[in-house]
Amino acid sequence: MDTAPAAKATVHTQNPPKRRALLFLVLPPALWLLCFLVLPYLGLFIQSFLGSDDLGNVVLEPTLDPWKAFFTKTLYRSTLLYTFKIALTVTSLSVLFSVPLAYFIAFKVRRWKELLYSLIIVPLWVSYIVRAYAWKIILGREGILNSFLQWAKITDAPVEAFLYSEWAIVIGLVHIYTPFVLMPVYTAFEQIPRSLVEASKDLGAGRLTTFFRVVLPLSLPGVIAGGTFAFVLTLGDFLAPVLLGGTDNLMISNVVQNLFGTSNDRPLGSVVGIVLLVVVVALLETTSRAEKSFASLESGRGRLGGAR
Amino acid sequence: MIRMSSWVSAAGLAVLGIASLGCQGEKKPEGAAPTGSAAPAVQKPADPAEKFKGQTLNLLTWEGYADPKFTKGFEEKYGVTVKYTYFGSSDELVAKLKSSPGVYDVVSPSSDVAYPLVQGGLVDPIDTTKISSWGDLADALKNLDDAKKDGKQYGVPFTWGPDYLIYDANVVKEEPKSWKVFYDAQYKGKVTLWDDISNIYLVGQIMGLDKTNPAALYNMTDAELAEAKKKLVELKPQVRKYWATAGELNDLFKNKEVVLAVGWPLTVGTLNKEGLNLKGVIPEEGATGWIDRLMITSSSKNKELALAYLDYVTTPKAQALVFEATGGYCVANAKAKEHMSEDLKKSPCVTEGETYFKRLNFWQYVKERKKYNELWNEVKSAK
C-alpha cells in the first residue's frame, strides 16, 4: 500500500487526498467482509478437518472423518436431496404465482398500481414466525380451514393432512417467499418498453403469443433472480419444518442446527455448512450467468432472440 | 491432545486471535445487567441482603424452573433480578453453555449430562456448608456419583420426575397399561413424542432391555440400536409431531392434535388448570426419569449470588413452591411437604416417595451420545 502510490505517482497526477478518500471508502466494507465472511468461513473450513472428543469438544487433531461421514452416511445425502426437492417445489410455485400477479399489476392495473404492489409487499413487514404461526392456526385440526370445510359440509371430519406435513411447509414457504420473487419480476415487467408490446400486436400476434414470445423472454432475468431468491432462502430454512413440518420433513438446515445445537458435533456441522455454501455459490454463479445471457435479448444478440 | 474451549472454535479457529480482537465487538451476555459483573468481594457491606442489590442472576434451565412463583421470593429477598433462558433438551443445554460462556450463572442439568459438565470443567464445585437445607435434601440424590469429582460436590439436588405417558382422559377412556398403546391403530396420528434421543431409551424399555440392568438403555449395542431405530420408524405413521418444547406440547393437546404423549408432569399440571383432563401414568414397562440438579457454571460472574440462589431454592418453603409451579415435580427437600396444600400432598412423590423413585429408570450418561443423536436424526429423516 505504501509503495504502490509512490510508483504510480509519476504516471497519474492524482493527488494523495483523493486516494486516501478511496481507501476510506474501501476499507469499511473490506473489513466487514473479512470479519464476517472470510474469517468465519475459513474457521469453518479448518474446523471441518478436526476431530471432537466424547464431551463434544473440538480437538486439534487433523482428520478426514467428518467429510467421510458426510459422504458415506445416507442421512446427510438424502436430507440434502429432500431439501432440494422442497426448494424446487417452493420456487416453481412462487414463480407460478408471481408471474401472472406481476403481469397483472404491471400491465393491466392503472389506478391502484402502487396500492396493489404495496399490498403484496406488506406481508414482508410481518415477522416470519408470526406468519408461520398463522398457518398453524389456519391449517390445524381445529383450524380455520377445517372448520370451514366442515361447516360447508365438504368434509365431515377434520382433515389432519393439512398441518404437520410437507404441504404445510410448502404452503408456508411459498407464502413467505412469493414477495421476494414478485419484486424482481414486477421490476422486469415494468422495464419492458411498451412499444415492443405494441409492435408485437401490430405484427398480428395475439395476447398469448405476445406474452410468451415478447414479454416473458424479456422478463426472464427478473424471473431467474426471483427464483434464485426463493430457492436459496428455502435451502437455508429450518423454521418451517420445525413449526409446520411433520415427522418426516427434516431439512438440511435442521441437521446443521442439530449438529451445532444438539449433537455438539461441530466438525461435521462445518462440513454440511461448507457443502451447502458451495452448492449455493455454484447456483448463484449459474443463475447470474443465465441472467446476463437473457438480459442481452434486448439488443437482439441473446440466445432466444437470435434464433428466430 | 489439546482440548480447546469451544468458543474459540466457534469464533473460527483460523482467526488466530486477530478476529477475536477485531471482530468480537459485541460479546455482551444477553440481558445481563452491567452491574452484574461488579466484583462483590471488593465492597464489604454489613447487611448480606444489601450485598447483591441490583445484580442479575441468569438461569439456563428446563421449562418451569424459572417460575416467578418461587423466583420472586429470591428477587425480593436480595433486591436482584432473575433472568432465564430455557433449553429444550439436555444436548441443547450443553451446546448453549459451551457456545456462550459467561452468560449463564446457574444451570439445571439432568442426570444424563451432569457427568460431562462436571468432567468437562463447565461447572464449579459447590460449598455445601453454604446451603442451609443441605442436610434435609434426599440422600439418594446427594449420593449420586455423576456430580462428584475428587470428593467435591458439583450439584445441588433440585427435583426429579418421570417421562411418563400422558393421555387425554376425555378421549382415551381406559388407562393405558403399556407403552404399546402408541402403536394402537385407533390412535393413528394422535401420538406425540419428544424431539429428543430419550425416545431411544423409551423403545429400549418397550423392548425390555432394562429388565435386569437399568444402564442397558444408555449403553445399547449396535444391534439393539438398529432394532430401536426400526421400532421408532415403525411408530412414525402414528406420530403427529415431535414436540420440541413443553409449550409446543401444551399447544398440541389444547388444539386437540394429539391424545397420547410422552411428557412431564408439568404439562399435566399446566393444562388441567386450563380445563383439560389429562392424566399421567407409568406403564407396565416402566418409565425413564430424570434427576435435575442445580449447578454453578465455572464461567459465571456472579458465583456468590448463584450460591445464594441455590441456598434459597432448596429451602422447604421454596421447594414447596417449585413443586406447585411445576405441576408436581418431586422435590429434593422432604420438608417441603409441610408447606404444601392438602391437594398437592396426594402426589405420588409424597404418598409413595421411595417406591416411586425406585420405579423410574433414571437417565444416565450416554457415552455414545453422538451415535444416539445421529440415530434419532436418521429416524426423523426416514420416509
pLDDT score, position B85 = 95
**Which of B92, B240, B242 lies closest to A262 in CB terms?**
B92
Same domain, B371 and B226: yes
State the SS3 of chain A: CCHHHHHHCCCCCCCHHHHHHHHHHHHHHHHHHHHHHHHHHHHHHHHCCEEECCCCCEEEEECCHHHHHHHHCHHHHHHHHHHHHHHHHHHHHHHHHHHHHHHHHHHHCCCCHHHHHHHHHHHHHCCHHHHHHHHHHHHCCCCHHHHHHHHCCCCCCCCCCCCCCHHHHHHHHHHHHHHHHHHHHHHHHHHCCHHHHHHHHHCCCCHHHHHHHHHHHHHHHHHHHHHHHHHHHHHCCCHHHHHCCCCCCCCHHHHHHHHHHCCCCHHHHHHHHHHHHHHHHHHHHHHHHHHHHHHHHHHCCCHHHHHC
What are the cell numbers at B3? Answer: 482440548
pLDDT score, position A20 = 81
C-alpha span between B295 and B157 (Å, rounded):
9
The SS3 call for residue B182 is: helix
Same domain, B202 and B260: yes
pLDDT score, position A139 = 92
C-alpha span between B272 and A89 (Å, rounded):
42
What are the cell numbers at A46? Answer: 479448518
C-alpha span between A272 and B190 (Å, rounded):
34
pLDDT score, position A14 = 54
The answer to whether residue B4 sits within a structural domain is no
pLDDT score, position B357 = 87
C-alpha span between B273 and A288 (Å, rounded):
57
Instruction: Label residue A152 exposed, middle or buried (CB < 10 Å: 0-12, 13-18, 19+).
Output: exposed
Phi-psi region of A192 (alpha: psi -120 to 50; beta: other; left: phi over 0): beta
pLDDT score, position B98 = 87
The predicted-structure confidence for B249-259, as pLDDT tens digits, reads as follows 999 999 999 99
pLDDT score, position A302 = 44
Chain B interface disruption, residue of A37, A251, A263, most B CBs within 10 A? A263
For chain B, how many structural domains are there in total? 2
Same domain, B285 and B191: yes
- Tell me if chain B has a CB within 8 Å of the CB of A7: no
Same domain, B236 and B124: no
C-alpha span between A247 and B153 (Å, rounded):
41
pLDDT at B5 over 60: no
The answer to whether residue B279 sits within a structural domain is yes
The answer to whether residue B30 sits within a structural domain is no
The answer to whether residue B7 sits within a structural domain is no
Same domain, B140 and B254: no
Whether A178 and A98 have beta carbons less than 8 Å apart is answered as yes
**Which of B11, B12, B94 lies closest to A264 in CB terms?**
B94
C-alpha span between A76 and A252 (Å, rounded):
7
User: Which residues in B lie closer than 8 A to residue A75 (C-beta atoms)?
Assistant: 374, 377-378, 381
Residues of chain A with pLDDT under 50: 1-11, 299-308
C-alpha span between B155 and B128 (Å, rounded):
9
User: Which residues in B lie closer than 8 A to residue A261 (C-beta atoms)?
Assistant: 91-92, 95-96
> pLDDT exceeding 90 applies to what percent of chain B?
63
B342 CB-near residues (< 8 Å, 6+ apart) = none
Helix (H) or strand (E) holding B192: strand B191-194
H helices within chain B, ranges in order?
Answer: 6-10, 18-22, 48-51, 68-78, 90-99, 114-119, 139-142, 198-206, 222-235, 246-254, 265-273, 303-313, 316-325, 348-351, 354-359, 369-381
- Tell me if chain A has a CB within 8 Å of the CB of B370: yes
What value does the mean pLDDT take over residues B157-169? Answer: 94
pLDDT at B383 over 90: no
Whether B9 and A51 have beta carbons less than 8 Å apart is answered as no
Residue B382 distance to chain A (closest CA, Å): 6
pLDDT score, position A52 = 82
Contact state of B240 with A164 under an 8 Å Cβ cutoff = yes
Same domain, B264 and B338: no
End-to-end CA distance of chain A: 52
Contact state of B240 with A79 under an 8 Å Cβ cutoff = no
Chain A interface disruption, residue of B8, B20, B241, B253, most A CBs within 10 A? B241
Closest chain B residue to A250 measured between Cα atoms? B381
C-alpha span between B381 and B372 (Å, rounded):
14
The residues in B 134-193 lying below 8 A from A, measured between CB atoms, are: 189
User: Which residues in A lie closer than 8 A to residue B113 (C-beta atoms)?
Assistant: none
A136 CB-near residues (< 8 Å, 6+ apart) = A143, A163, A243, A244
pLDDT band, residue B23 (cuts 50/70/90):
very low
Same domain, B294 and B256: no
C-alpha span between A207 and B98 (Å, rounded):
62
Residue B236 distance to chain A (closest CA, Å): 7
C-alpha span between B83 and A195 (Å, rounded):
64
Contact state of B98 with A264 under an 8 Å Cβ cutoff = yes
Q: What is the DSSP letter of B29?
A: P
Residue A57 distance to chain B (closest CA, Å): 6
Chain B interface disruption, residue of A48, A60, A247, A274, most B CBs within 10 A? A247
* DSSP β-ladder status, B330-331 and B278-281: unpaired
Contact state of B1 with A53 under an 8 Å Cβ cutoff = yes
Average per-residue pLDDT for chain B: 86
pLDDT at B43 over 70: no
pLDDT score, position A157 = 83
> What residues make up the domain containing B197?
161-289+363-381
pLDDT score, position A16 = 65
**Which of A39, A55, A160 lies closest to B119 in CB terms?**
A55
Query: What CATH number does residue B99 fall under?
Result: 3.40.190.10
Contact state of B116 with A262 under an 8 Å Cβ cutoff = no
The predicted-structure confidence for B232-289, as pLDDT tens digits, reads as follows 999 999 999 999 999 999 999 999 999 999 999 999 989 999 999 999 999 999 999 9
End-to-end CA distance of chain B: 40
User: Which residues in B lie closer than 8 A to residue A143 (C-beta atoms)?
Assistant: 255
Whether A256 and A280 have beta carbons less than 8 Å apart is answered as no
Same domain, B229 and B205: yes
Whether B65 and B323 have beta carbons less than 8 Å apart is answered as no
Contact state of A60 with B367 under an 8 Å Cβ cutoff = no
Residue B182 distance to chain A (closest CA, Å): 15
Contact state of B240 with A246 under an 8 Å Cβ cutoff = yes
C-alpha span between B270 and B273 (Å, rounded):
6
Closest chain A residue to B379 measured between Cα atoms? A248
pLDDT at B351 over 90: no
Contact state of A164 with B257 under an 8 Å Cβ cutoff = yes
The answer to whether residue B21 sits within a structural domain is no
C-alpha span between B266 and A191 (Å, rounded):
59
B302 CB-near residues (< 8 Å, 6+ apart) = B36, B37, B52, B55, B56, B57, B58, B105
Contact state of A54 with B12 under an 8 Å Cβ cutoff = no
- Tell me if chain B has a CB within 8 Å of the CB of A277: no
- C-alpha torsion angle, residues B379, B380, B381, B383 (rounded to 10): 80
Contact state of B367 with A247 under an 8 Å Cβ cutoff = no
What are the cell numbers at A240? Answer: 418451517
> pLDDT exceeding 70 applies to what percent of chain B?
87
The answer to whether residue B22 sits within a structural domain is no
The answer to whether residue B167 sits within a structural domain is yes
Same domain, B216 and B339: no
ipTM above 0.85, yes or no: no
pLDDT at B33 over 80: no
pLDDT score, position B53 = 87
C-alpha span between B270 and B324 (Å, rounded):
10
Same domain, B180 and B255: yes
What is the residue whose three cell numbers read 412499444?
A195
- Tell me if chain A has a CB within 8 Å of the CB of B15: yes
Contact state of A262 with B91 under an 8 Å Cβ cutoff = yes
More confident site: A240 or B26: A240
According to CATH, the superfamily of the domain at A84-249 is MetI-like (1.10.3720.10)
Same domain, B140 and B113: yes
Same domain, B225 and B264: yes
